[in-house]
Amino acid sequence: MSDTPDSEVPEAMEPPPREWFILKVQVNREDSIREALWRRIRIAGLEEFFGDIIVPTEDVAEYSKSGKRRIVKRKLYPGYILINMALTDDTWFLVRETPGVGDFTGSAGKPTPMESEEVERILKLGVSEDEGGAQIKTAIPFRRGDRVRVKDGNFQNFEGDVEAIDEANGRITVVITIFNRSTPVELEHWQLEAV
């Protein structure tokens, strides 16, 4: 018989509260690293210390050469994963020792949790339009200042410089020289090609 009364038997420690952290990971391996993290968490039996592990993405409309529109997921922050976890020595070690994970973002080697407003903003970006999120952007292969040629429409074969890009509507403002005057013209992105 033990000398310790039943009331003094230590109970299981309650995990600290979960917070959001940013992990630096290998670029283009975000999804496989996310799956590897979940496997390691299950093997170690630490599920109660972890919440969501997210690769932040947004829906983007892309057009094929034939003009067919398709929606694809584009990573918002290539090389980074958001993880919701209770930070302990065991969880920190498990995450850091996962192949492909570089480190937590933070200062002086100590992981710094994200502000809740930042987390909400990033999570809202990933919500599709039919779920109440933002309008789907159009993937436009041009940047401001690029030289382009109009391949379709009233200004066909004119060349100009990209002045502004409207990803939400898929339109580009191009400055074209007509009669020795610079004239801004708004065109659909598919009407242009790089020079």
Q: Do domains 14-138 and 147-194 have the same CATH topology?
A: no
pLDDT of 73-116, one tens digit each? 888 888 999 999 999 889 989 998 999 998 888 766 678 898 88
Q: Which two tokens stand for residue 119?
A: 């987390």
Instruction: Identify the sign of the CA torsion 94, 98, 104, 110.
Output: positive
Across the range 111-132, mean pLDDT stands at 74
CATH class of 147-194: mainly beta
Phi, psi for residue 160 in degrees, rounded to 5: -165, 180
Inform me whether the pLDDT recorded for 9 exceeds 50.
no
Instruction: State how far the Cα of 52 lies from the Cα of 34, in Å rounded to an integer.
Output: 10
Phi, psi for residue 84 in degrees, rounded to 5: -105, 115
**Right CATH number for 14-138 from 3.20.20.70, 3.30.1360.10, 3.30.70.940, 3.30.499.10?**
3.30.70.940
Nearest to 193 by CA among 59, 63, 60: 63
Inform me whether the pLDDT recorded for 132 exceeds 60.
no
| 3-class secondary structure per residue, 93-104 | HHHHCCCCEEEE
Categorize the per-residue pLDDT at 69 as very low, low, confident or very high, splitting at 50, 70 and 90. confident
pLDDT of residue 67: 67
Question: By 3-state DSSP, what share of the chain in percent is helix, strand and coil, each rounded to 5?
Answer: 25, 35, 40
Residue 187 contacts residue 172 (beta carbons within 8 Å): yes
Instruction: Identify the sign of the CA torsion 32, 35, 37, 40.
Output: negative
In the chain, % of residues over pLDDT 70: 84
pLDDT of residue 13: 63
Q: Looking at the whole model, is its pTM more than 0.85?
A: no
pLDDT of residue 65: 66
Query: How do the domains of the chain map onto residue ranges?
Result: 14-138, 147-194
44's CB contacts (< 8 A; 6+ apart) are 90, 94
Residue 25 contacts residue 79 (beta carbons within 8 Å): yes
25-39, 60-74, 91-105, 126-140: which has the highest mean pLDDT?
Answer: 25-39
pLDDT of 146-188, one tens digit each? 999 988 888 888 999 999 988 777 788 999 988 888 888 988 8
Phi, psi for residue 186 in degrees, rounded to 5: -95, 125
